[in-house]
Amino acid sequence: MRATLEGLALQHAFPHLRRADLEAAREALAAGEASDQIAAWEAANRRFHRALTAPCHMPRLMAAIDDLHQSAARHLFATWKHLDWQPRSDKEHRAILRAIKHGDPGKARALLEAHIRAAGEALVARLRNLTANGNGDTMDAR
């Protein structure tokens, strides 16, 4: 659901994206890449996504996306030690920014949606694996 909603937000935001929005996204990406703390990375990730979608000027859509980010964060904090999350996610973020820089809203939306779906699938797979192995005690949000 989040992939579809963020894709829609990006589609509507695209014509309104300004240099400052892209700079905020780049700064958030850099902050995430520089951090080895999951809580700091998650906050930077949220800033990255919001910088690209908030210019849609659709507050109810953004509120729904924010709620979904919060729900996903719970699961990320529970599984982050068991995921190869950071390098893949950072690479995908850079590809989304390149598509925006090249003025390709369709590609940017497709990349964003694929990025969110892949992250969700990785989280679900890891949670299923942890549950199957009886290792549900994984909370550590350094």
Q: For 109-141, what is each residue's pLDDT tens digit?
A: 999 999 999 887 877 776 677 667 765 544 444
Model pLDDT, residue 141? 41
User: Is 137 part of any domain?
Assistant: no
Instruction: Write out the residue range of the structural domain in which residue 39 sits.
Output: 2-132
Residue 137 vs residues 2, 3, 42, 74: alpha-carbon distances, Å:
26, 28, 20, 13
Residue 68 maps to which CATH number?
1.20.120.530
pTM attached to this predicted model: 0.83
- Residue-wise pLDDT for 75-98, tens only, equals 665 555 555 556 678 899 999 999
- The two tokens of residue 57 are 């000027």
Residue from 94, 101, 87, 83 nearest 140 by CA? 83
User: Is 115 part of any domain?
Assistant: yes
